[in-house]
Amino acid sequence: MLSLKNINLTFDRELIKNGELYVPNEQLTVLFGPSGSGKSSLLYDMAFLTKQIQMDYIFDGIDVHTLSQDEIKDIQKNQIAFVFQNIPLFDSMNLMENIRFFSSLTHDEFDEDQARQYLTDLELYLDDQTPIEHLSGGERQRLAIICALMKDTPYIFMDEPTAYLDEDNRQEFLKIIDLLKNQYHKTILIATHDELIKDVCDCLYEIRNQRIYCLKKQDVFETKAVHHISNTFHQLSVFFQYQFKKEKWKHRIFQLFLILILFISTFMGVYFQYYQNQLMQTVKDYESLQLIVEMNHNISSSQIRDIGNMEHIQRIEKIFPLVSDNNYLVCPYLESDFFYRDIAQTFDTPSYTGVYINYEVYRDTQNQSIELLFDNQKIEVKPQFQLDKNFDDYSLNLSLARIIYIPYDDYMEIYRAQGFDNNQTSFALIKIDQKESYIEVLEKLSSQYDDITLESHQEILTLLDVKQMADYLSGTMMIILFIIVVVSIILLKINDYYHMRFAQVLLEANGIKDQNIMKAHILKDASLYILPMFISYIMLIGCFCGLGMFQVDIAVYSLVILIFSSLLIFVVSMIIYMMIRKIFTTTRILKSI
């Protein structure tokens, strides 16, 4: 027996005020009232689907307010079968699959003989494999009642069961109600506005003028039912398997989308990283302890001091063009590592500090000693290194092709010996404290001095610009991809939840815990990622082999990126799913029916 007192329901206005309702065992109780009177809302609360009403509710002698959520779910599963107005069945299953599923809610084994008996009693003579969408409204309702009987619960709740039935099916429904009450001894509670049901009920309550009026009742003997302990339900995964099978095409589209996104995002991430590593390796090859700078005007002593005080700069020296009478340009250097990557030949020298000649000098003199003429004074220099012909000479704005590079101190000795005292120049040599600071110093000079030119380092500046552009493109593409993924997942999840919303309510109405539904949904979604990850990885390895990029570390890095991307998409997907569930609650879904 069910006992409800002090029933109060208010939405925009007060619908029920201080009402009472009693549902005696093995009787047909009707809650009658017009649409919008609150009868369906009261029925939903009695079935623990919503919590919209304030009331004192005694369920088989137990105060509902003292029950835990697990105990309430146990009552929903084992004591109440709910037949909805518009969502009586799982449309992802056929006729017999629905019957089996509802039976599995409360029974470990399926009693097929009992199911056949119910089908005969309710005159539902259809093929077991009949899809739900092929059933008429009356057939759907009879199947929903059979599913309720398979749960074998003492209470059956029905919401507007005759709302969409024609006259013949309404009369058939009355026979079914009589069968449920008298042959199967069920306690039936119906919310309706159908006068036909009103006339055959045992107990009649009508909602009118914010009150619940008892218009007909039987003698009520309050009893306390014995609740059997719930079995553990293991069939939720089966439901999702049926759901997956029904929506197979949609899941395949999602997997194709996932393959595309995982492949593009991982390939871009790995390729850009590989490309940037190649650029940085090239940049490292250019790194040196020496920089050559030029200003578009003569360098002042104050600028020399300012630059010399910059972090990581050990020394700065002005340099001046030194041209011999026989047209050799002599240039100084502070650090010989400036030439290492461009040495074409070495002419028997114990160290890298010595005389370097460019390709034009070598073509004229080979490795022979060179005589430099200054005002008829001869200075002999012995070359130790020949530079590659592609070496980017720093010619100090002169058009001379033959250039000799010597240590700065030797250069200054020749310069002073010629009596030069010109202190005006736009060129300077800079010595850096460590190679690792080369890029930092180069970028600082480029950004802080608008009037500075770094011609001899233009190639490396270009590489840095390319790297910066690659970083920007990589970041932009990843953001665009992420936005596409999020928007796509939102649309997919809204569509997914829209088609699942009635099944969700059915599961909850039959005592399936929300966390169990969520867990099964997570496992179902997670299974969709395995095949796309595998296919994407095979495609990536194939692309890297085709591009000549394949290395073990790249393969491992790709796998890590792929797993991370999949995990990120999955987590985003679950967050969006939970947000949608928070927005479209069971109460909202029921109100939309």
Yes or no: say if 198 and 32 are a contact pair by the CB < 8 Å rule: yes
Give residue for tokens 């001869």. Answer: 378
Greatest Cα pair distance, the chain, in angstroms, is 138
pLDDT per residue of the chain (593 residues) written in tens, 0 to 9: 999 999 999 888 889 999 999 999 999 999 999 988 999 999 999 999 999 899 999 999 999 999 999 999 999 999 999 999 877 688 889 999 999 999 988 888 899 999 999 999 999 999 999 999 999 888 999 999 999 999 999 999 999 998 888 888 889 999 999 999 999 999 999 999 999 998 899 999 999 999 999 999 876 555 554 444 444 455 677 777 787 777 888 888 889 999 999 999 899 888 888 888 888 888 788 888 999 988 888 888 898 999 999 999 999 999 988 999 899 999 999 999 889 889 999 987 667 788 999 999 999 998 899 999 988 788 999 999 999 998 888 888 888 999 999 999 999 988 888 877 667 888 999 999 998 898 889 888 888 888 888 766 777 778 778 878 888 888 888 889 889 888 988 888 888 888 888 888 888 899 888 888 888 888 888 888 999 999 999 999 999 999 888 889 899 999 999 999 999 999 999 999 888 888 888 888 887 76
All domains in the chain, ordered by first residue: 2-232 (3.40.50.300), 248-281+465-592 (no CATH), 290-433 (no CATH)
Yes or no: say if 229 and 435 are a contact pair by the CB < 8 Å rule: no
Give residue for tokens 């997914």. Answer: 496
Minimal CA–CA distance to 1: which of 42, 35, 46, 44?
A: 46
Mapped onto helix, strand or coil, the DSSP state of residue 513 is coil
Q: What is the edge-to-edge ordering of all strands in the sheet holding 28-32?
A: 80-83, 155-159, 187-192, 28-32, 203-208, 211-216
Distance (Å, whole) CA 256 – CA 428: 60
Q: Quote the pLDDT of residue 456.
A: 66
Strands (E), 339-492: 343-346, 356-357, 370-374, 377-381, 385-387, 403-407, 427-432, 452-453
Q: Quote the pLDDT of residue 226.
A: 46
In single-letter form, the type of residue at position 581 comes to R
Minimal CA–CA distance to 291: which of 439, 425, 423?
A: 439
Q: Quote the pLDDT of residue 477.
A: 87
Distance (Å, whole) CA 147 – CA 88: 9
Distance (Å, whole) CA 81 – CA 518: 22
Yes or no: say if 294 and 452 are a contact pair by the CB < 8 Å rule: yes
Question: How large is the angle between the packed helices 458-509 and 248-286, nearest 10 degrees?
Answer: 160
In single-letter form, the type of residue at position 366 comes to Q
Minimal CA–CA distance to 503: which of 517, 519, 522, 524?
A: 517
Reduced 3-state DSSP string for 419-456: CCCCCCCCEEEEEECCHHHHHHHHHHHHHHCCCEECHH
**Sign of the alpha-carbon dihedral angle for 173, 179, 182, 186:** negative
pTM (predicted TM-score): 0.71
Q: Quote the pLDDT of residue 398.
A: 87
Yes or no: say if 334 and 429 are a contact pair by the CB < 8 Å rule: yes
Token couple for 210: 């914010």
Q: Quote the pLDDT of residue 227.
A: 47
Q: Quote the pLDDT of residue 455.
A: 64
Cross-strand bridge partners of residue 208? 211
Distance (Å, whole) CA 179 – CA 184: 7
